[in-house]
Structure 1
Amino acid sequence: MENARLLKAIIETAIDGIITIDNRGIIESLNPAALKLFGYDQEEVIGRNINMLMPEPDQTNHDNYIGRYQHTGEKRIIGKGREVKGLKKDGSTFPFRLAVSEVQYENRIIYTGFIHDLSKEKEAEERLREYAAKLEGQVEERTLSLKKTVQALSDAKEEVSLSLEKEKELNQMKSRFVSMASHEFRTPLSSVQLSSTLIEKYAQPFENENITKHVGKIKNAVGNLTTILNDFLSLERLEAGKVEPTFSAFDLVKLSEEVTEEMQMIAKQDQHIIYQHTGLESIVTLDLNLIKNCMINLISNSIKYSGENTFIEFNTEVNDEQIIVMVKDNGIGIPEADQVHLFQPFFRANNTGNIPGTGLGLNIVGRYASLMKGTLHFESTINKETTFKLSFNK
């Protein structure tokens, strides 16, 4: 008796709806949650066919489902854990997940249906899809605008190079443009990046591949735009003589481990960055921000120009004479004919294809190294490997 009262209490307080029917599809009981979902009182549904709670075509076909199940044993017709629609008293429909169990009770068979309402989940999925689509449209619009602006800047630079007398005026215009770009593009790009990260987080419970795909496209587009903007800002500051190294002592190994962790997050699928330090010392005196920028730029190139399922070697060394930072990949390599031009601004090797880039990164790394009294060397074999090495005298 006590067990019966406990069972009744559990059923009546259950969050999900519970309905029992006989072998003819006649409703025998509904718990309060089920009545609330469908909008009926008990006396309106008890003794009636369960198909009254189904929209067409399930309403018409339900008796056939039961008959086929009883005569053929096709349990899939009843279905367990499948998504269906319910028909409310007011004529509206709603999605729910249905699980059905067959119960032998007092020498007869009854069927118990467990109903989990999916309305809120479906609404949330739709809102996320709409928001992702809106963000993607905004990013595409800003991408086009920025590309046009960058192209206009490149055209202006080429024209001014023909006249030394107008170079000063061009630099002033460029400085104003870069300042404007920094203000006008950084803030909205940061907002888009943050929003896409939040969407990815909130969408995780739904495991929706479309949302993940579009959020990934948004984040990649924002990352490419941010890289372009950062390259132009860095070049402008270098050419304007605004970059002065600030030397300080710091732990090179700690910095390198942080950079490795940060860059691993943007690596391609099954692309692994392997960091190793050589030497008993790790404290060095360099400009921390400049050397970090060099590391990130070199590793980013290795990520871009290497395929999936590859390793990127990232090594540091501190010996009695030098501080060395080395990045090696097994990517597309640099054609021998292009190697002589590699550090020129805006130059890109002819085998880069559609891989995004500005052609400024290595020029910036070389100039940063020079500001810290260091050198940048490289070795490359086409379609095999490329190694970049930064060296600083102690």
Structure 2
Amino acid sequence: MTITVDSLAETHAALQHAPIGAAILDRTGVISWANPALGSIVGETDATALRLSLITVWFETEEGDALLQMIESHFDALPETRVPWSRAINFSRRDGAEQPCEITLVPCTAAFDQWAILYVKSLAQLTLAEKRFTQIFENLPLGLLVIDGRQRIVQVNSALADEFGYAREELVGRSLEMLLPERYRASHAGHVEGYTRAPESRAMGSGRDLTGRHRSGREIPVEIALTRLETVAQPLFMAIITDISKRKRAQMALEQTNTQLEEFTYVASHDLRSPLRGIGDLVSWIREDIGDEHLSDGVKHNFDRISLRITRAEQMIDDLLTYARVGVRDPHMETIDPAKVIEEAVSLANVPNGFTVDIDVSGSRFSAPLTPLATSLRNLIGNAVKHHGGESGMIRITMHDEGRFAVFTVNDDGRGVTPGNEERIFKLFHRASPGTSGDGLGLAFTRRMINAHGGMITVQSPGALGGASFEIHWPRILLKEFEDD
């Protein structure tokens, strides 16, 4: 556009407080006036110091010569044919740093056709934002690609190229269809067209499995999130593509393991319980046929030992069934009062009178399934007594909030856990202390139950009181994967 003013003073007044740099030039490129914004761009605190200097001194030699030729061409044209023109250029600041800018030369009216106005807009923030975007785009450990409105790939990062087995230069400029299995290509165009009409950041293919096509031809399971990039030139769209092959394999392996465990426990229950009962019946009949009055004390003792071991084997089968069931999350949520649930767990654990129990709760109430949490605490308190090694002792139970977890700690002053057994005590049929009753399933139950609800349990020995210290991290805030179960 052409600036129409009655005097240069009016121009000065209009541009004095403009948010972009402005200077009035003659045909030789000499600055007759500059505003403070231009002084800030070139690093000059006093804009009046720019007067009577050549605009070209702020550029590299080649860029300065090209700019001067453009200015001369502008003034060589007839005033009525002069039009604004723009270009991107780097200013050399007084401190030596370069600043990217966009300059626009605008003609004045015929009355002042011996001057022109040069607008200078700093692109430093835009350039910095682009660099930051590029750094984030390239360094994210997720596959990222940008496509245009015609579904051509404009930009990809290394993570995506590696996921699909291509070099980046093999993807840029190509159709997005090359990354899609053939059966999806016919419907894909319609999905994209629908998205471009009403673009919003969302997950793609919600409720169904998506796959991408690797360079080798095999398909890989993926998750895709779409978002629109705001640009001036053309609409662009960014997709975040995550290869979930490992997660799918882990999920399938876990499901298969749980299924096999349940099948095993139920088969074991049926196939082992019947012969055990048969053996028990036979032992009882033999003892009845002989009669206790004809048995020596040693034989009676052996008969009792057989019955006890049959009972213990049946209990182990029941425990295996219980172990399989505790791997399922309890969906029933309640408001948990930490102090109350600890007190009830202590009461149900039947702690002997010789033990002192100290409770310290600083955390807040939260929502969670009550039964598995209370059972876990009761098991740990009972273990603290059973494996203590003495007739009296100290048990300290604390609870505090830590991020999205409620952290419960059960400390005792007993003999603790033998070094090297910190992980082994959570295995099936492993007893924490030799010579104690039980079949070694309590801690295995507890860990499986806690893990099924998104928590975790760890042990440290010696702990704060010198014995074992068990710590439960129970989620106060559920992750979405558990909420969707």
TM-score by length of 1: 0.45
Higher-Rg member (1/2)? 2
RCO higher in structure (CA 8 A, sep ≥6): 1
- Tell me which protein shows more helix as a share of its residues: 1
